[in-house]
Structure 1
Amino acid sequence: MTESPSILQCLTGYIGLMGCGSAEPGSGLYINSLPGISLEMMDNIADAEQKTFLGVWNEIQKRGILSFRTYFMAQLNKCYQINQWDTVECLACENRDLLSTCLMYLLGHELMIERIYSNRINRYTTIDLDEAKELKDYYISKFQNELPLAVQGIDVEKSDCIVKETDCMQENGPIHYRESLM
């Protein structure tokens, strides 16, 4: 198996923030291109510790990527039995282009949770609260629809994340196929 960065390392910054002179992210996707998400909104929900939209975004990415890892492993285990976290993380990093849309929706979901439970008082956290709840549900629904499709697109046999013996998977290796009618 090739050495792979942790999932936090390879996915942090992969979905970007459009504006304020930021570089284009590796995915070409921006969180604030989703409906209801803007830098202004993110700045207005920032608490004393987060300070600005960048603090909010950094926190959302950490929380969202860790959650993504769990969802990703559960979805992978519908097709395969994976015995090691580092194999899951390697597969996620190796296939991050394929997974980028579902990651963006999960981060949007996490951002709406942050907005709903922000201790700041302004239009984003009061008047527009119903919009945030609807968007939270919409983003998690989009994520749940996208993730199985993305996982089906992963070719584990061609992956550098899987230790192979000759042309076959190891009998006691990190991954085993499961029969599935997905």
Structure 2
Amino acid sequence: MSEKAKRSGRRTLATKRENLIAGLWGDELEELNIWSRHEHDGFTTLPRTLTYINRILDFLGGSGSPLSQTYLALWCRVFDEGFVEIRDKEAFAYESGFSGQRAVTTWSGRMKKLKELGFILTKPGTSGEFQYVIILNPFPVIKNIYENKEKDERYNALVGRMQEVGAKWE
């Protein structure tokens, strides 16, 4: 499918959604304070399958070591190049759900696991081991992890959602 056809299809779907919203909320719509990436700053691009990826990450992290909050914190800071610069480990630990004396240590452990599993690449800097981070495409990483293991409900749910949104493994 050409890029022009894809854009046209997206516009058609957007128009359908706008019409549905107008039909459901009608006169109220003008009074609602709806968040729009076209009018507000502070947005990033996230995979529509992120919730499914996070379920897999929490499973791979093992009991008592969920990885999804740390992964989400990275995605909330990523730029279009897939790059995150971490200058404040305490802030990242907090955003990942950790507080107290061991917050940074716990966060560092989750970052090591994400790196070990192949979801991120890191380079050290003056702020520590994880100052520079590249978030890799999670689909080939997950495909590789599941290559020699039984496909469970988490994997199958991801495959189903990928079909819905048109995501590809590569």
Scaled by the length of structure 1, the TM-score of the pair is 0.24
Q: TM-score, normalised on structure 2?
A: 0.25
Say which one has the larger Rg.
Answer: 2
Compare the two structures and name the one with the higher strand fraction. 2
- Relative contact order higher in (CA < 8 Å, ≥ 6 apart): 1
